[in-house]
Amino acid sequence: MPINILMPALSPTMTEGNLAKWLKQEGDTVKSGDVIAEIETDKATMEVEAVDEGKIGKIVVPAGTEGVKVNDVIAVLLEEGESASDIAVTPQHAPEPAAKTTDTRPKPEAPKPAPVAAPKPAPQPAPQAAPQAGGKRLFASPLARRIAAQQGIDLSSIRGSGPNGRVVRADVAGAIAGGTAKAAPAAGAQRPATLPGAPSFSAFGEPEFEIIPHTTVRKTIARRLQESKQFVPHFYLTVDCEIDRLLALREEANALSPKEGPGAYKLSVNDFMIKAYAVALKQVPKANASWSDEGIKQYKTADISVAVAIPNGLVTPIIRQAEAKTLTQISAEMKELAGRAKANKLKPEDYTGGSASLSNLGMYGIKSFSAIINPPQATILAVGAGEQRAVVKNGQLAVATIMSATLAVDHRAVDGALGAELLAALKRLVENPAAILI
């Protein structure tokens, strides 16, 4: 019998996702392990592999559909000898028709109209915001409705490609690009329309702008950071570290690397900071913790979530047990994770968990900054650029390379003195980098 292909749960917290792209079409033969679709989750865009073998008999949820619930049927697979006539599936993602209400109460008798001298002209119906063709209900995604309203387009003039003829964003964009979209009935003066990529002006002097729809990743970043600042009591500690010895050790270590081949490496300052932060957390274990309603979670390993910028926002792949790894191991792992992050190829286990976070903007020339804690973690280290500054050594003015590091702390799990102890340990390790190799 036909096999339903369900929307998979690609992470422990996933409840819905966007079906970004189908890589197989109706009639295509698939084998177990073939990549059939791309799903956009709240963390990344991930590939979906076929579990069974057969032929794609029907695509239930088209590409571009947003908010598909986990375990919804997205396609149907036919086994050998089966045909499309064997398929009996109701699209779960399609909007349900409006529920009919049954009123059993007796209806009052309509009053008889009073006689009038002459008939009055019937009032004209008020213009509707979204006319319905033939009196039928129009199915459209919220984003499609918003874009159509902004552009002043009649949605009923657009043929929908979604379940039950649902109009999605791609349908509206295609109608505009193809010139087939019809203008909506005028309903008074409207604000100038906007569309992704199209300029817009405001009668009130607002600058030109364009609307860029939110990705699922961007929505998740916004939600989590807002929750962090609302519910996590942040406080910040900053320390200046002299990194001349660290830079010298880095240069010496890189000079020992083979010029090419599998053993070649190039250590960065960030690699040293990941290692130093992990060792510092092991030296001050009470700070390697997080808050929970049941009690303080104190972690046994320093799993460092490292912020990586990607086109859609920010992800934090994890270097697990960083305190026990060599600098070359951390460097190789970080390069591999960063590359997969930018290619949207991270797996849930690559970014789920972590005991503390590190964010480095030094490569952009940022002197210092304060980062937002990544819940449920209790600390995040913000690393600035190393720069030459005037310092006093033994009562004499001198020049040294100084790097500012700011620790953001969840005051529920880590108190001020404990946070200061952690930063002091970090400073000792950074200024005496040979200690992190022991």
Mean pLDDT is highest, among 10-14, 82-86, 263-267, for 263-267
Q: Residue 46 domain-assigned?
A: yes
Cβ burial 279-292 (10 Å sphere, 16+ → b, else e) = bbbbbbeebbbbbe
> What is the CATH classification number for the domain harbouring 30?
2.40.50.100
On the question of pLDDT at 177 being above 80, the answer is no
Give the C-alpha separation, 122 to 114, whole Å. Answer: 16
| Residues 347 and 421 reside in one and the same domain | yes
Rg, the chain, Cα only: 30
Q: Identify the active-site residue in 93, 214, 234, 411.
A: 411
| Residues 146 and 284 reside in one and the same domain | no
The tokens describing 345, both together, are 């190829």
- Residue 93 annotated among the catalytic residues of the structure: no
Question: What pLDDT shows up at residue 96?
Answer: 40
On the question of pLDDT at 323 being above 90, the answer is yes
| Residues 209 and 221 reside in one and the same domain | no
On the question of pLDDT at 108 being above 70, the answer is no
Picking from 9, 5, 11, 34, the residue whose alpha carbon sits closest to that of residue 346 is 11
On the question of pLDDT at 127 being above 60, the answer is no
Q: Residues 119-124: what's their mean pLDDT?
A: 44
Q: Residue 341 domain-assigned?
A: yes
Last residue of a domain, one of 213, 234, 258: 213
Q: What is the mean pLDDT of the chain?
A: 83
On the question of pLDDT at 411 being above 90, the answer is yes
Q: Residue 92 domain-assigned?
A: no
- At 4, the pLDDT band (50, 70, 90 cuts) reads confident
On the question of pLDDT at 84 being above 60, the answer is yes
Question: What pLDDT shows up at residue 307?
Answer: 95
Q: Residues 337-363: what's their mean pLDDT?
A: 92
Residue range(s) defining the domain that contains residue 176: 136-213
Q: Residue 104 domain-assigned?
A: no
Q: Residues 26-36: what's their mean pLDDT?
A: 87
Maximum CA extent, the chain = 109
| Residues 316 and 244 reside in one and the same domain | yes
Model confidence pLDDT, tens digit, residues 365-396: 999 999 999 999 999 999 999 999 999 998 99
Question: What pLDDT shows up at residue 118?
Answer: 46
Q: Residue 114 domain-assigned?
A: no
Q: Residue 113 domain-assigned?
A: no
Q: What is the pTM of this model?
A: 0.64
| Residues 165 and 274 reside in one and the same domain | no
Backbone angles phi, psi at 35, to 5 degrees: -80, 120
> What is the CATH classification number for the domain harbouring 196?
4.10.320.10
| Residues 46 and 160 reside in one and the same domain | no
| Residues 147 and 248 reside in one and the same domain | no
| Residues 333 and 196 reside in one and the same domain | no
Question: What pLDDT shows up at residue 92?
Answer: 52
Last residue of a domain, one of 213, 243, 270: 213
Q: Residues 326-338: what's their mean pLDDT?
A: 96
Model confidence pLDDT, tens digit, residues 212-233: 888 778 888 888 899 999 999 9
Question: Which of 39-53, 193-207, 339-353, 394-408 is least confident?
Answer: 193-207
User: In residues, how long is the chain?
Assistant: 438
On the question of pLDDT at 33 being above 70, the answer is yes
> What is the CATH classification number for the domain harbouring 422?
3.30.559.10
Last residue of a domain, one of 56, 86, 116: 86
- At 407, the pLDDT band (50, 70, 90 cuts) reads very high
On the question of pLDDT at 130 being above 70, the answer is no
On the question of pLDDT at 193 being above 50, the answer is no
Question: What pLDDT shows up at residue 374?
Answer: 94
| Residues 241 and 358 reside in one and the same domain | yes
- At 257, the pLDDT band (50, 70, 90 cuts) reads very high
Q: Residue 260 domain-assigned?
A: yes
Question: Which of 2-11, 96-105, 176-185 is least confident?
Answer: 96-105
| Residues 150 and 35 reside in one and the same domain | no
| Residues 370 and 428 reside in one and the same domain | yes
Picking from 379, 383, 382, the residue whose alpha carbon sits closest to that of residue 415 is 379
Q: Residue 372 domain-assigned?
A: yes
| Residues 189 and 227 reside in one and the same domain | no
| Number of structural domains the chain divides into | 3
